[in-house]
Structure 1
């Protein structure tokens, strides 16, 4: 309950931004529990006991995963940082996004981020479609500077494994960011030897899987990402239609 008390106190002093910051910091203390347990900030994401991920926790978790991808190739690219900030502003508004970044920079960033702990939490308490969108978001970060490096792919693959994302789904989303002769097939999760009937069937299945309506429960930025995935599926199908002449 510390999060709510902190939110009220924050609102009294700094109105909405103060309430958001208070709630975020209070969430951390709620999740830490008693000092007698010997847990530190690095266990925050591992020990949460709520039935679902709160908005504040989800935002910090997502930002933490983003930081791992940004640092994966050993350099911190400004275009990738700008992409993340713009994404958060679009999803949550400027004040709330700034509050999340402040908490991350002042608390979480100073501690070791555990991708496995974060992903275990998200895997248990988010829908599979939401986790696919998280993966798409991470690839979009890596691609913000114009190309996705091999270390970034490896890091996102590692995160995808922790999130419980199936390999075919990982390869499908990955193919959306690489232009290869077989990209269209990978996006539709089929082999190059697939028949016309198999291509049509795969397209119908992918439309169901990536339809933006599946993310109506999430913020606008995530719905926009879902639309981007959906468009890539359509483009892949149209490309194969032209190549195969059906």
Structure 2
């Protein structure tokens, strides 16, 4: 709790907020710990377990913090989404360790998108980099609206990760409703023939197939399935519109 409080405090108020969040979280930790001790054990026993987050988790959290702060309007829904995602992907114990280490790191330096991406890019497959963008858009959309500033930040990150413009626009279109978003998701123009639409669907279904991320944790597999479903929905929409 205290490390999550420190992270949230940093997002809102910088270093001073991190310190205050840490103090408040520590108080809550003691309250909950004492309550659970009465029933035979502490729910915070994992704090004494040696769990070390790896660099991927820390750098992913760094990118998340950049998106959360992009529009100057820090949303609790966005914070909750990041927390939920990390717990689902790595478990509560490891997620707590990641937030704790991240809080220590950000006290000493500003998060730099280009430096983070320079580290991640050569270490991640292209499919995983696409999933990172999808994760960042989900954060921005957690409060029900993706702002222009958030889009600009994610596009900047996409550039640093060397994600192609069409792939960026495809993932972006999954979060915006427009007359041509089905075409954008499939990375084709509205003038495409029926044969080109079918070919584009096969290509995108292969690119976004969940099997591409079978080696990743469950949260990433879920994200891959979401992208794959959006591709299927886009194709089905065009099938209906054109009578394919």
TM-score if structure 1 supplies the norm length? Answer: 0.79
8 Å CA contact 1:17, 1:96 repeated in 2:
no
**RMSD over aligned Cα, in angstroms?**
1.3
Q: Which residue of 2 aligns with 1:240?
A: 238
Q: Which residue of 2 aligns with 1:76?
A: 74
Equivalent position to 2:130, from 132, 152, 172: 132
8 Å CA contact 2:46, 2:93 repeated in 1:
no
Q: Which residue of 1 aligns with 2:153?
A: 155
Q: Is there any run of 5+ residues in structure 2 with no aligned partner, and where?
A: 1-44
Matches within 5 A, 1:189-200: 189-200=187-198
CA distance, structure 1, for counterparts of residue 108 and residue 172 of structure 2: 30
CA distance, structure 1, for counterparts of residue 214 and residue 73 of structure 2: 35
CA distance, structure 2, for counterparts of residue 226 and residue 17 of structure 1: 34
Deviation at 1:107, TM superposition (A): 2.6
CA distance, structure 2, for counterparts of residue 86 and residue 110 of structure 1: 26
CA distance, structure 2, for counterparts of residue 76 and residue 15 of structure 1: 29
CA distance, structure 1, for counterparts of residue 48 and residue 183 of structure 2: 46
CA distance, structure 1, for counterparts of residue 227 and residue 48 of structure 2: 33
Equivalent position to 1:18, from 25, 28, 49: 49
- Say yes or no: does 1:105 pair with 2:99: no
8 Å CA contact 1:211, 1:230 repeated in 2:
yes
Q: Any idea what the Cα deviations from partners look like across 1:104-140, whole Å, max 9, x if unmatched? A: 1233255201110110111111100000000000000
Q: Is there any run of 5+ residues in structure 1 with no aligned partner, and where?
A: 1-13, 25-55
Matches within 5 A, 1:165-180: 165-180=163-178
- Say yes or no: does 1:225 pair with 2:198: no
CA distance, structure 2, for counterparts of residue 158 and residue 90 of structure 1: 27
Q: Which residue of 2 aligns with 1:207?
A: 205
8 Å CA contact 2:170, 2:186 repeated in 1:
yes
3-state SS of the aligned residue for 1:193?
Answer: coil
CA distance, structure 1, for counterparts of residue 242 and residue 109 of structure 2: 53
Q: Which residue of 1 aligns with 2:85?
A: 87
- Say yes or no: does 1:96 pair with 2:94: yes
8 Å CA contact 2:133, 2:158 repeated in 1:
yes
3-state SS of the aligned residue for 2:50?
Answer: helix
Deviation at 1:17, TM superposition (A): 5.3
3-state SS of the aligned residue for 1:80?
Answer: helix
Deviation at 1:172, TM superposition (A): 0.1
Stretches (4+) displaced over 3 A: 14-18
How many residues matched? 200
CA distance, structure 1, for counterparts of residue 142 and residue 62 of structure 2: 17
